[in-house]
Amino acid sequence: MGAYLLKRIGYMLVTLFVIATATFFLMKTLPGTPFTNADRLNEQQLENMRAKYGLDQPVAIQYVKYLTNLLQGDLGMSFKYMGRSVTEVIFERIGPSALIGFQALVVGTVIGMVLGIISALRHNSVWDYTSVTLAVLGMSIPSFVFAALLQYYLGLKWGLLPPALWKGYEYTILPTLALSVTVIATVARFIRTEMLDVISQDYVMTARAKGLTESGVVVKHVLRNALIPVVTMLGPLAINIMTGTLVIEKIFSVPGLGEQFTLSILVNDYSVIMGITLFYSVLFILMVFLVDILYGLLDPRISVRGGGTK
């Protein structure tokens, strides 16, 4: 186990290094500079700004300096927000993103489980076909399409909820619903498949033969065993939500990390682009790592040996 953990941590560090390197050089290919729109600055002032942020040096030297600072935990200073560090910008924006992401994960998991359970217990019925159809639609249609539909019908046409902006809790509902659609579809489909597989197992038939009530069979034997793989899915689902917020926040004008990331690309705020990319990458890698460990703990048939899970 110890060797496995050390190897995984080594892979994680290498992955972060590759992401940081690729993002840095790809970012440099963006047209313009952070001072492209600084019309009020004269040429000398622009030169001073480039020298202050090291943009007057070769890209290779900028890269080495960035990695050196990164190893010391310094993500640099924002080009757009003068005098503010990238760390400050990220932590100021993370609240709205975390709120709608957490709500979407909870809402999506609960509704998806209900649909999946009904679908499995009413196999080959109208309930089953309806649930499967909804799951297919939820997984096939991008979340930003649902976002636009929710915004138009619930926000603008029927006036039930605020269509955009961030002025209170009610403003979190539509972005949460838009983000939760994929989670609902994924969990419903997975629960249905797992429950149908468990229902046909011998120990479930034995439990029925012993006279256990149908609700007791479902709760004690079917649902409990079907939930184990679902728990391990929460990690990838959380990752999908994190990447989905990049677009959803822009559509609903949520002042979160996704909107900040989009704004930073538009104004070439290099350090913030790098900081948010690395922040999401760290979360992504940690989530995959925790899911692997959790899966091994939940399912005793899986053991962790030097090279990975088996």
CB atoms within 10 A of CB 303: 11
Label each residue of 186-234 as H, E or C: HHHHHHHHHHHHHHCCHHHHHHHHCCCCHHHHHHHHHHHHHHHHHHHHH
The mean pLDDT value for 59-77 works out to 90
Q: What is the pTM of this model?
A: 0.78
Q: State the helix-helix crossing angle for 270-298 and 86-121, rounded to 10 degrees.
A: 40
For the stretch 125-150, pLDDT in tens is: 888 888 888 888 888 888 889 899 99
pLDDT score at 175: 93
- pLDDT at site 31: 76
Supply the pLDDT for residue 160: 93
Least confident of 10-24, 178-192, 214-228: 214-228
**What is the Cα–Cα distance from 280 to 287, expressed in whole angstroms?**
10
pLDDT above 90 for 103:
yes
Nearest in space to 76 (alpha carbons), one of 15, 22, 24, 13: 24
Tens of pLDDT, residues 229-276: 677 777 778 877 877 777 888 889 889 888 888 888 888 888 899 999
Within 8 A by CB and 6+ apart from 124, the residues are: none
Other residues' Cβ atoms within 10 Å of the Cβ of residue 1: 11
> Under a CB-based contact definition with an 8 Å cutoff, are residues 170 and 103 in contact?
no
Closest to 238 measured CA to CA, from 189, 291, 170, 177: 291
Ranges 44-48, 188-192, 261-265: which has the least confidence: 44-48
Residue-range domains of the chain with CATH:
90-269 (1.10.3720.10)
Average pLDDT, the chain: 83
